[in-house]
């Protein structure tokens, strides 16, 4: 195998986006079992299975979207769109990737395996049809994160909290609409434009059904719902109300992301923001430290 082909296969997997699958660890973390080695191992296996399943879906998506990707300033560099990897090679490569997902899922039981199958089917439908339907496209993205949460909880044998599912759903909707806004900016060439200056059917057809104004409203509503759901969870969703001290970093993290989206026109690649923006990283670290201090080490403050 040539170096170029190996590099192309590696790019097809999109390892930078595997960070999304850390959501699978949420079940063990929020259930207070993060120091349980057996639970950690199973949660990590679930995350690994989702990494493989997601990579399989990315390969299928790149095959289906290869013609549109060639008309996008960034996506034209993807292995299949650029000709670095042929369609036949991509299909052959997808099979062992799918086998890894099935193998890891099978080790965790039929429940996780069924969730992985549902994720793959849903996202193949998304790549083929659903991503062209406004609102449905973002909802499918959010559903993918809900399935990750379920896989992580099923793997460690805990029941997911309704609050956890709500917060995950609203946050992932927020990220999905922010991504659409950034894509709209990219193809319009004008961050403040409410109409497109170019024909986006060549890149992402659903963008014709949105505009900056409505996407800003969607982002603001989803950001508000995320913060509200999390704040209420800290008061009503757990016996220790001291969790309320974890709310400020959540608020600041969401506000910072919203600032990056609406003021600096970022958000097309959420994983890049998570990897590079120090303010978002700091908010996550402060939140995690406070949450661990309350849930695992019994930190308490006097609240009624």
Q: What is the pLDDT of residue 196?
A: 46
Please give the Cα distance from 251 to 265 (Å, whole number): 20
Assign residue 266 a region (left: φ > 0; alpha: ψ between -120 and 50; beta: otherwise). Answer: beta
CB 178, CB 263: distance < 8 Å: no
The CA distance from 202 to 67, in Å, is 8
- Predicted local confidence at residue 199, as pLDDT: 46
Here the tokens at position 224 are 């508000």
Name which of 203, 186, 207, 264 is nearest 78 in CA terms: 203
Cα angle value 95/88/76 (rounded, 5°): 105
CB-based contacts of 30, cutoff 8 Å, min separation 6: 161, 164, 295
Domains, the chain, in order of start with CATH, read 1-160 (1.10.357.140)
Q: What is the pLDDT of residue 188?
A: 60
User: Contact, 49 vs 109, CB < 8 A?
Assistant: no
DSSP 50: H
Which CA distances in Å does 262 have to 82, 133, 207, 212, 258?
31, 23, 17, 9, 6
pLDDT at 72: 76
Within 10 angstroms of residue 82's Cβ, the number of other Cβ atoms is: 15
CA-based R_g, the chain, Å: 20
Give me the half-sphere count of Cα atoms (radius 13 Å) on the Cβ side of residue 73. Answer: 9
Nearest to 254 by CA among 288, 279, 290: 279
**Tokens linked to 122:** 């849903």
H/E element, 256 = helix 247-262
How confident is the chain (304 residues) per 10-residue block, as mean pLDDT?
87 93 93 92 96 96 90 85 93 96 96 96 94 94 96 93 93 95 74 48 76 94 97 88 95 96 86 91 97 92 79
The two three-digit tokens of residue 103, written as one number? 């193998």
* Tokens representing residue 21 in the block: 């699958």
Q: What is the three-state SS of 285-296? A: HHHHHHHHHHHC
Query: Which positions ≥6 away from 67 have C-beta within 8 Å?
Result: none
Q: What is the per-residue pLDDT for 190? A: 53
Residue 3, Cβ density class (10 Å: 0-12 exposed, 13-18 middle, ≥19 buried): exposed
């Amino acid at each position: 195998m040539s170096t170029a082909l190996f590099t192309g296969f590696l790019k097809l997997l999109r390892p930078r986006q595997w960070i999304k699958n850390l959501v699978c660890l949420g079940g063990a973390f929020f259930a207070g079992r993060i120091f349980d080695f057996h639970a950690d191992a199973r949660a990590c296996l679930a995350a690994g299975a989702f990494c493989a399943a997601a990579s399989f879906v990315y390969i299928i998506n790149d095959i289906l979207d290869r013609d549109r990707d060639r008309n996008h300033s960034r996506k034209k560099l993807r292995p299949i769109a650029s000709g670095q990897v042929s369609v036949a090679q991509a299909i052959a490569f997808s099979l062992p990737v799918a086998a890894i997902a099935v193998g890891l899922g099978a080790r965790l039981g039929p429940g996780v395996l069924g969730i992985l199958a549902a994720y793959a089917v849903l996202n193949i439908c998304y790549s083929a049809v659903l991503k062209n339907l406004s609102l449905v496209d973002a909802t499918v993205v959010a559903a993918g994160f809900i399935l990750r949460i379920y896989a992580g909880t099923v793997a460690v044998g805990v029941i997911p909290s309704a609050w956890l599912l709500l917060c995950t759903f609203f946050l992932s909707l927020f990220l999905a609409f922010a991504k659409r806004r950034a894509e709209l900016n990219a193809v319009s060439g004008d961050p403040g434009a409410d109409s497109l200056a170019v024909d986006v059917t060549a890149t992402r057809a659903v963008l014709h059904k949105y505009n900056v104004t409505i996407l800003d409203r969607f982002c603001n509503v989803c950001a508000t719902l995320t913060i509200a759901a999390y704040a209420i969870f800290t008061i009503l969703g757990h016996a220790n109300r001291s969790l309320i001290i974890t709310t400020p970093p959540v608020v600041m993290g969401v506000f910072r992301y919203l600032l990056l989206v609406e003021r600096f026109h970022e958000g097309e690649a959420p994983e890049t923001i998570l990897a590079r923006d120090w303010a978002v990283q700091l908010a996550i670290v402060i939140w995690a430290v406070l949450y661990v201090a309350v849930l695992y080490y019994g930190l308490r403050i006097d609240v009624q």
